[in-house]
Structure 1
């Protein structure tokens, strides 16, 4: 058990943006929301998963919708209480704690704000170890845990709760509500016991995000290696490509950001080219026509000077980026995991090959 203050929030936002694999929205807005809640309500208690009683009710909190819309629309502030009251009335039980559902720029921050404003602790755990675009894409689905009852609320005061026959149906119905409410809503889902959270959650994700963020903040202070070498060492990242963004194609469809970013090589990658395809999160990286990484492994673009992660909604012509591959949580490499989030689910015509094998085709 420990407290999260402003410095911790800043580091978590930076680290979670890397783990967000391009998705989850710009961490700047989420950071402002979380810091504002901390300043008004005080620090948030972060619990180790093992500190949570097995019979406690844990309710994850997130925002759902296209990152570009989330960054513009934000959150009204009343959604937290409306949703948690809705869930408690439905469950007939007090909520013990909240937790993030994914690591990402916005969705690592909003659960902190919810915890602060509701006076609840937050658990150091999530359901992805990264970010994915659809509600059923969590480790809890692999564990057979129902996503419903799903609660949704928008900034106008509209709320809805529904039960579904599968987690995929939760995604389909929730996405319809998101579209009706302007492209983003607050959501609670996968209400679970402490025991279920400990069995199937990705433990320590908030702490990992914080450590990554702190290391990125201090990367230029390293004296025995270059900043890039230091970054790759502490992230355990695989260097896939380095270049300048020359084209970004982006569109919003069905409350998702779809697109492709084209990168021309610089430095030791000069004369080569690469591109990354995304659906909110980066799905595949291709160098000189050869796939070097795919989902569920993480593909992240970072600024070559500051090593700050660049989410898909912030990709711009001329920006110099390092394309990095990171290993995903082990459970995603199982058959059940690949059925949920593997490359073929997203329409990519390739089987999954681990990034530490496939990434050798890039520039290491």
Structure 2
């Protein structure tokens, strides 16, 4: 099935993606800007992966960097387009479609402007249903394939400050992903990328099928619910996602630090009306929630979202401020499909080291 995306789908993708963003997923306004710009230059067609031949070649398109608004970045629509063109120039296979490695505030509109400009499909899969900090978590398992040689490109940065970069890297995913993240830091902390030429057959077996339309459909539910008020919006999100409220309370602490790997790392603490405190650990996105006794309430790949209580707006780490009234929400991983990347033990160690907490065995205790 092919679905021609509309302006209402842009808003829905960003609103639904904001829930799955888990505190990251880039920037709300950037998502709207890129989505609307895409529709202004051409058609954006969302296609089911089942409609494509198994040997057709797809690329991942995304932005990488830190979402907390702590850096002087610039990324334009033409940067997304250029990144795909750079990869296409390096490979013999013709790219027919693009897919996003994650949902998020702008991640859910990843590739739309390129698809419109170059006549490509947006494929209805995601590398992870939610947003995540490292490229490896959304690369549907190629991180652990030493024999897979990828091509990745990154484009972005302000020319007037000398920060503009175009870079192409070929090699294993694990190595080249780190090169692109370093490029993101050098470009100002946020950069457009295209990567991982893969056949439809591999993507179909390892990605989250229907992951993008899930965010768009949730967004339409949110838009419809907004007419009935904040409580109805949150109730509808809970209902549609099988999620649950962790705590309603006040932000009493926020400690975030930008690193030269283009990560925002730190914690946010929420206190409820009884004085109980809950700590959210973030590396760009929220990765775990613990109560005041150190007991784990939620762990990636669960979805973890902080809504502003006054309007049910899903907050990124840069939008969280001490004293805000919030609603902390989660969706247990049992309620949505997981990609190969989200289940890969090898993609967790760097994040665990950065945060100083264990993640993988909390989520997958029966795995070795």
TM-score, scaled relative to structure 1: 0.87
Contact kept? 1:260, 1:277, Cα under 8 Å: yes
| CA apart distance, 1:264 | 1.7
More moved, 213-222 vs 299-308: 213-222
| CA apart distance, 1:237 | 0.7
More moved, 111-120 vs 339-348: 339-348
After TM superposition, list the pairs within 5 Å mapping 1:63-142 onto structure 2: 63-69=63-69, 73-138=73-138, 139-141=140-142
| CA apart distance, 1:248 | 1.5
Which digits, 9 at most, give the CA deviation of each residue in 1:164-194, with x for residues without a partner?
A: 2x32212222222222222222111111111
Aligned to 1:208: 214
More moved, 30-39 vs 70-79: 70-79
SS of match in other structure, 1:199: helix
Partners in 1 of 2:265 and 2:37 — Cα distance?
31
Structure 1: gaps spanning 5 or more residues: 356-364
Contact kept? 2:71, 2:189, Cα under 8 Å: no
Structure 2: gaps spanning 5 or more residues: none
| CA apart distance, 1:143 | 7.6
Structure 1 residues 205 and 349, CA gap change in structure 2 (3 angstroms): closer
**Corresponding position: 1:274 with 2:246:** no
Contact kept? 2:207, 2:340, Cα under 8 Å: no
Partners in 2 of 1:94 and 1:122 — Cα distance?
15
SS of match in other structure, 1:197: helix
Contact kept? 1:142, 1:336, Cα under 8 Å: no
Partners in 2 of 1:306 and 1:337 — Cα distance?
36
1:309 equivalent among 296, 314, 319: 314
Structure 1 residues 71 and 304, CA gap change in structure 2 (3 angstroms): farther
Contact kept? 2:38, 2:44, Cα under 8 Å: no
| CA apart distance, 1:331 | 4.0
TM-score, scaled relative to structure 2: 0.86
Structure 1 residues 95 and 333, CA gap change in structure 2 (3 angstroms): closer
1:288 equivalent among 292, 295, 307: 292
Aligned to 1:169: 175
Partners in 1 of 2:25 and 2:342 — Cα distance?
25
Partners in 2 of 1:176 and 1:110 — Cα distance?
20
Aligned to 1:231: 237
Contact kept? 1:146, 1:190, Cα under 8 Å: no
Aligned to 1:318: 323
Contact kept? 1:53, 1:194, Cα under 8 Å: yes
Aligned to 1:327: 332
Contact kept? 1:294, 1:352, Cα under 8 Å: no
SS of match in other structure, 2:8: helix
| CA apart distance, 1:48 | 0.5
Aligned to 1:62: 62
Contact kept? 1:135, 1:170, Cα under 8 Å: no
More moved, 153-162 vs 10-19: 153-162
| CA apart distance, 1:115 | 1.4
Which digits, 9 at most, give the CA deviation of each residue in 1:188-236, with x for residues without a partner?
A: 111111111111111111110011112222335569x955433321221
Structure 1 residues 188 and 300, CA gap change in structure 2 (3 angstroms): same
Which digits, 9 at most, give the CA deviation of each residue in 1:240-298, with x for residues without a partner?
A: 111111221111112101121121213xxx33221211000101112222321112212
SS of match in other structure, 1:163: strand
Contact kept? 1:216, 1:307, Cα under 8 Å: no
Structure 1 residues 78 and 227, CA gap change in structure 2 (3 angstroms): closer
2:256 equivalent among 250, 260, 263: 250
SS of match in other structure, 2:80: helix
Which digits, 9 at most, give the CA deviation of each residue in 1:63-104, with x for residues without a partner?
A: 111113598634223223322222122112321111112111
Structure 1 residues 184 and 333, CA gap change in structure 2 (3 angstroms): closer
Number of equivalenced pairs: 349
More moved, 272-281 vs 343-352: 343-352
Structure 1 residues 282 and 97, CA gap change in structure 2 (3 angstroms): same
SS of match in other structure, 1:218: helix
SS of match in other structure, 1:136: helix
Aligned to 1:158: 165
